[in-house]
Structure 1
Amino acid sequence: MTDHQVGRLSRLDTCLLSDALAAEAIPGALSGLAPVTAGRSFAGRAITVDLGPAGPATASARHLGTAALDAAVPGTVIVVAHHGVTTVAGWGGILSRGAVRAGVAGIVVDGAVRDVDEIRELGLAVHAAAATPRSARGTVVERAWNCRIDVQGVTVTPGDLVRADGSGVVIVPASMAGRVLGTAERLAEKEAAMAAAVQDGVAMSQVMGAAYEGAIQARSHTATKGPDDRDST
């Protein structure tokens, strides 16, 4: 079945989505997570993984990320809460091979990844905070998967929309997707008109004037949530 919201999401860049989230007073734009392999953009629904320090109480026989990969369907985006750790990797080459086999759209890691050359050869799109050759073996384990996670203060829930491109990563809560996508689409129309004005020779001070500054207006906190907030169109 076609996921119409993912289709709409894929036609919008992260900057427009970030502006739309800001207009709706919803946290969702992540900072410092850049493409570490091919700069290919991607969009999809999140499956989440939460990592943490290894210890006697956290020992697990399952390798991190494997349960999420076994559950992934084509178009899934795996979001790994590595909590900003850049000293060891929270994702690697063999996991990436599994992601390609499963048809995963992309990987987002709030921390470091390794095997970057291998991942690049596989053609998998990965956004992360850094690259390192150091393994997480013995130091980091998977605490949970397909659960609510915290990434840079942004809550990511399984099924949330994830968009990544050259500017970064944005999370759109599934419960507010209709509103955010609608706002972003309206902003896209305004930006297209501004770009056309530039091409037509309109003075930049006019193009980037009051109309631009007022393009993003936060919606009233008293606005009633509409039926589109959880729609699939």
Structure 2
Amino acid sequence: MTQQSRADDLARLARLDCCAVSDALDALGISGLAQGLSAFSTQEKVTGRVITVQLCEDDGRASKRHLGTSAVDAAGPDDVIVVAHGGRLDVAGWGGILALGAKRQGVRGVVIHGACRDIDEAREMGLPVYASGTTARTARGRVIEQDWNVQVTIADVTVSPADLVIADGSGVAFIPSGRVEEVLERAEMIVRKEQLMADAVRSGKPLVEVMGADYETMLKKG
């Protein structure tokens, strides 16, 4: 895939919302919707290419780097950092200095399957953070980075580096890198159909007609 095609994919994704992408994933039989993640700093929609971080319990192994730092330093303006922490809410898997570094790198946003802290700092700097929850409890002495830029699991969804992600007020969804074109194409078709339905509602057509039998089959290609 060329750099231009990657840019085109990101531009197309940015014009969609999570619901349309979720419907497209459903229609194609792809598991990509990560349940239980919400926006905790800004309400800004986030779309981008995935860089992953895998966290684990601190078992006493010496760690030469703080969790997440390598991913942040490697990230750029097209990227979203995705932190796999098993949905843990008792300890943070992301914090304020990491958020500042991500903002410096131009990272589009952060998704954490687990808790984050220093959320007020992320809000002040305008960095979108989607997470399972928040806590003030530090990761120091409790959590370390197991690896980064590897395949991870986010709320039962398998996520790999270079997958695409979209996050907004309705949820968070991941698109496997090998299926981006078909997912985007299907989501765009769904948006077009929904726009026609919305136009019909605005024109005064009864909802029972607009959302009739055709609505239940709208995910089908056509």
Common fold by TM > 0.5: yes
CA RMSD of aligned residues (A): 1.3
Q: Does 1:25 align with 2:29?
A: yes
Q: Is the 8 A contact 2:186 2:221 kept in 1?
A: no
Give 1:178's aligned residue. Answer: 181
Q: Is the 8 A contact 2:110 2:128 kept in 1?
A: yes
Give 2:57's aligned residue. Answer: 53
Give 1:81's aligned residue. Answer: 84
Give 1:224's aligned residue. Answer: none
Choose from 4, 9, 16 the match for 2:8: 4
Q: Is the 8 A contact 2:69 2:98 kept in 1?
A: yes
For 1:45, give the aligned amino acid: R
Alignment of 1:153-172 (within 5 A): 153-172=156-175
Gaps of 5+ in 1: 220-233
Q: Does 1:194 align with 2:209?
A: no
Deviation readout 1:74-107 (Å, 9 max, x if unpaired): 1210000011000000001000000000000000
Q: How many angstroms does 1:152 deviate by? A: 1.5
Give 2:42's aligned residue. Answer: 38
For 2:25, give the aligned amino acid: L
Q: Distance in 1 between matches of 2:123 and 2:186?
A: 34
User: What's the TM-score once normalised by structure 2's chain length?
Assistant: 0.95
For 2:120, give the aligned amino acid: D
Give 1:96's aligned residue. Answer: 99
Q: Distance in 2 between matches of 1:79 and 1:136?
A: 17
For 1:37, give the aligned amino acid: S
Q: Matched residue of 1:23: which SS?
A: helix
The alignment covers a number of residue pairs equal to 218
Q: Does 1:117 align with 2:120?
A: yes
Choose from 80, 104, 108 the match for 1:105: 108
Q: Is the 8 A contact 1:59 1:141 kept in 2?
A: no
User: What's the TM-score once normalised by structure 1's chain length?
Assistant: 0.91
Q: How many angstroms does 1:218 deviate by? A: 7.9
Q: Distance in 1 between matches of 2:177 and 2:10?
A: 11
Q: Is the 8 A contact 2:36 2:155 kept in 1?
A: no
